[in-house]
Structure 1
Amino acid sequence: MSAQLIPETEQDLAEAIRAAARPLRIRGGGTRDIGQDVPGEPLSTAALTGVNLYEPGALTLVAHAGTPLAEIEALLASEGQRLPFEPMDHRGLLGTTGTPTIGGVVAANVSGSRRIQVGAARDFTLGVRFVDGTGTVLKNGGRVMKNVTGYDLVKLMAGSWGTLGVMSEVSLKVGAIPETEATLVARGLDVAQAVTALSAALGSPFDVSGAAHLDAAAGGGEGETRIRIEGLAGSVAYRAGRLREDICAGWDLIEGDASAPLWKQVRDVEPFHGKPGHVWRYSVKPSDAPALSNWIALERPGAEFVYDWGGGLVWALVAPGGDLRPDAHNLGEEAIPGHATLVRADSQSRFELIVFEPPKRVEEQIIEGLLQKFDPRRILNHQLMGM
């Protein structure tokens, strides 16, 4: 890789893109190898590092896109703060190495179990600076939530996977680390029973921050259902007690430091680590999760499942094969609405199958317009998302 494709400044980044004579493969920390293989010359943001501004009192942080996520989390923790959306670490699931970066987190809109309570990565991204496919430096948003006028490019860039521009800087809203947490755990429930319990907990006034279920294969022999609450110690104790009275009778209570690893396991889909097979990620209505997993199990016997977001996020580990989107083509009138992504597969399958959810016709027109505006030469991660 030539030196000019490891830019050390935003201006270097702009010049590298402007001078590119062929497509570029955008890389952050190299930990999220998802999507179709992208032809082109690698361009790394790894040298764009450093925290430009951190104001704990204002709950605001500004950092270069290549700044390691671990560095940011350590800085926040020193002030009793964190990224509330608890971004996933994909390395164990994908078998990748490298270092997760904050730019990669925003570019992929990576969010963990707490999304059901506080929102996604894009909801905490206040501003971005990026270079588009023409080599133009653009800025949108700022350091407060209501600092966006015109088109909200912040939300557009979050989840764009480097196809519209290469981020050089992000501004984030951060939050306080709660005093304690606790997890209620039930064993032996099937997915329908689990989703019913999780939905009831999420619909309660007890401010649940995690609602997950592991099926028997992923849970070590029997299904395991988990509900997390966080906050001041007295509040957590009260809410855990009420949940056990109203919804979770007989569930085990796991408190404090013993609770956190349970949610790292869910966040990073640890039950699938080191196991062969394809991994699909589905976003559906929680009430559709049982039907979805039943259909997948019929199509691919031996499938394993991890459910997050109360059943709204379904991870499936399956034997390699064809498309596993539960659309009208597969199920006719019984199609399950939602989105599916082939997160892990061999290169040939990623070439033959559609990795990201195909856009609808009206969405295709919008996407084409955006690409024409921001990457008219089609040089930034071209075809990564199948477009």
Structure 2
Amino acid sequence: MTTSAPTTEAAVLEAVQRALAEETPLEIIGHGSKRAIGRPTQTEHIIDLSSLSGVTLYEPEELVLSAKAGTPLAAIEALLAQNGQCLQFEPMDYGPLLGGEAGRGTIGGVLATNASGPRRLKSGAARDHILGVRVVSGRGEIFKSGGRVVKNVTGYDLSKGMAGSWGTLGILTEVTFKVLPASETETTLAIRGLEEEEAARAMAIALGSSGEVSAAAHLPVTVTGKVIGGALSGKASTLLRLEGFAPSVKDRAEKLKALLHPAGEIDEITEAQSRRLWREIRDCLPFADGTQRCIWRVSMAPMEAHKMVANLRLGAGVDAFYDWQGGLVWLRMEADPEPVALRRLIAHFGGGHATLVRAPPGMRASIEVFQPQPPALAALSQRLKHQFDPKGILNPGRITA
């Protein structure tokens, strides 16, 4: 196996054209922080984009940033923080969960995986903030989509189409994102001791109020002690984040406390501790235990998620916690996963998507890692793949066999 590390878009194009001529499969990586997600690829050559790095445009007043695909996300977030700005969708860092280092993800990987964090329920994911891309397709051609301003157009939005493609449609060489002001302050209300069904109701009440909750999560008692140094140990914690200007945050917090007072004891976590708490939830740090025990990422209807988990626990050893008001469930399995049974259970409770995020390579090679698509959608995906990568040389097998 050989590796090339192009430093320019032209070098990426040359590498793809060479592979296309030889019909040689390519694995596409940045810093490799998400390499252990998906089926192991069977390739003879790696294109390493970590040297294709650097911010090419940043206009804070225009709320726009462009960077080469291999630019470290940590460097971009540091640059934005200097100007009081951020990526509102707060993309997850998979590194620690998968046994790697924190801060190793790239901005191209953010879009390729359609990353998001706890603010997903308010601000969306990467695809909702992308303005433009430059891509080398599997045809050995460069194409550009979008631009550096927000506007509506007719036709296909190829920038959004690259979101969640996991490097199977084209190689991102440059991305342009919309950036937004960071919140002046934040605080988190922690309702203590709720059962999972009670927590689901409390989060629904909070999200339906005028409190402008920007994140909502529930950590059962088995998980709550594994964040912010164990400060929440002993009782389950239902967490509600409020962000914005300090007077507004204070006023909304008091109103939410009054509204949710019947639910039970409410603690308040402020500023630095609150930011740390939501980073740890975002990165699934409670399950970043240095093992390869299987981790599933399940998205489904928020009010149904706790029912699915309760039924799952009847027949399997599983630990779980909830983000996105319960719409995102992280599951750590104590035994080998049974994807068919898990997905059948999810379908029984209204449907959703289950992705195997962490597992030994042999297991990832033998099961459906990503949620299987319905036949009509799968056929459409195959046609799209054929248009962008007719010889199937880009990350072959990573999403489907």
Same fold per TM (> 0.5)? yes
Q: Distance in 2 between matches of 1:304 and 1:258?
A: 24
Alpha-carbon distance change, 108 to 310 in structure 1, aligned in 2, over 3 angstroms: same
Shift of 1:334: 3.2
Q: How many residues align?
A: 384
- Superposed CA deviations along residues 7-60 of structure 1, whole A, max 9, x for unmatched, are 111111011011012100110110012000001111111111111110001100
Deviates more, 1:242-251 or 1:164-173: 242-251
Structure 2 partner of 1:54 = 58
2:343–2:354 CA contact under 8 A, matched in 1: no
Give the structure 2 partner of residue 151 of structure 1: 156
**Is 1:120 paired with 2:133?**
no
How far did 1:66 drift?
0.4
Aligned to 1:37: 40
Return the letter of the residue paired with 1:9. T
Q: Unaligned 5+ residue runs, structure 2? A: 226-233
Show the counterpart of 1:270: 285
Distance 1:320 1:247 in 2: 38
Give the SS at the match of 2:175: strand
1:176-255 map, 5 Å: 176-220=181-225, 221-248=234-261, 250-255=265-270
Q: Distance in 1 between matches of 2:133 and 2:274?
A: 34
State the shift of 1:258 in Å: 2.0
Contact 2:132 2:177 in 1 (8 A): yes
The separation in 1 between residues aligned to 2:311 and 2:391, in whole angstroms, is 41
- The offset of 1:78, in angstroms, is 0.8
Match of 2:95 among 91, 96, 107: 91
SS state at 1:218 partner: helix
> Offset of 1:322 from its aligned partner?
3.5
With 171-180 and 147-156 compared, the bigger mean Cα shift is at: 147-156
Q: Which amino acid aligns with 1:50?
A: G
2:358 aligns with 344
Tell me the CA shift for residue 329 of structure 1. 4.7
Task: Work out the CA distance in 1 between the residues paired with 2:100 and 2:145.
Answer: 32
Cα distance in 2 between the residues matched to 1:352 and 1:314 = 23
Matched-pair contact (CA < 8 Å) for 2:194–2:238: yes
Whether contact under 8 Å (2:2, 2:46) holds in the other structure is: no
User: What amino acid sits opposite 1:279 in the alignment?
Assistant: I
Q: Do the aligned residues in 2 keep the contact of 1:130 with 1:139 (CA within 8 Å)?
A: yes
Decide whether the 8 Å contact of 1:323 with 1:354 is kept in 2. no
| Counterpart residue type for residue 44 of structure 1 | D
1:380 and 2:384 correspond:
no
- For 1:376, give the aligned amino acid: P
Letter in 1 for 2:258: E
291, 298, 313: which one pairs with 2:307?
Answer: 291
User: Which residue of the partner structure matches residue 369 of structure 1?
Assistant: 383
Q: Which residue of 2 aligns with 1:16?
A: 15
Q: Aligned partner of 1:306: which letter?
A: F
Cα distance in 2 for partners of 1:191, 1:150 equals 44
Structure 1 residues 336-361: Cα deviation after superposition (integer angstroms, max 9, x where no partner): 40000000001111112110000110
TM-score by structure 2 length? Answer: 0.92
Whole-angstrom CA distance in 2 between matches of 1:6 and 1:380: 16
Q: Give the letter aligned to residue 216 of structure 2.
A: A
8 Å contact kept, 2:41–2:397? yes
Task: Quickly say closer, same or farther: Cα 1:64–1:231, change in 2 above 3 A.
Answer: same
Which TM-score applies when normalising by structure 1? 0.95
SS at 1:169 equivalent: strand
* TM-superposed deviation, 1:165: 0.4
CA distance change for structure 1 residues 10 and 193 in 2, over 3 Å: closer, same or farther? same
Check whether the contact 1:322–1:353 (CA below 8 A) recurs between aligned residues: no
CA distance in 1, matches of 2:306, 2:341: 13
Contact 2:132/2:148 (8 A) holds in 1 = yes
Please state how far the C-alpha of 1:248 moved relative to its aligned partner: 4.5
Q: What do the CA deviations read for 1:247-269 (whole angstroms, capped 9, x no partner)?
A: 24531111222211110111011
The answer to whether the Cα contact below 8 Å between 2:99 and 2:290 also exists between their aligned partners in 1 is: no
How far apart are 1:320 and its partner, in Å? 3.0
Query: For 1:60 and 1:328, how far apart are their aligned partners in 2?
Result: 39
CA distance in structure 2 between the partners assigned to 1:327 and 1:260 by the alignment: 33
- Contact 1:29–1:46 (CA under 8 A) maintained in structure 2: yes
- Cα pair distance change 1:316/1:60, threshold 3 Å: same
Secondary structure of the residue that 2:186 maps to in structure 1? strand
Q: Is the 8 A contact 1:197 1:248 kept in 2?
A: no
Deviations 1:67-103 (A, max 9, x none): 0111101110111111111111111111124821000
Q: CA RMSD in A?
A: 1.7
Measured in 1, the distance between the counterparts of 2:381 and 2:154 equals: 21
Q: Does 1:137 align with 2:151?
A: no
Paired with 1:282 and 1:270, the residues of 2 have a C-alpha distance of 16
User: Which deviates more, 143-152 or 205-214?
Assistant: 143-152
| More displaced stretch, 140-149 vs 267-276 | 140-149
Distance in 1 separating the partners of 2:185 and 2:159: 32
Deviation for aligned residue 1:147: 5.5
| 2:355 alignment partner, SS class | strand
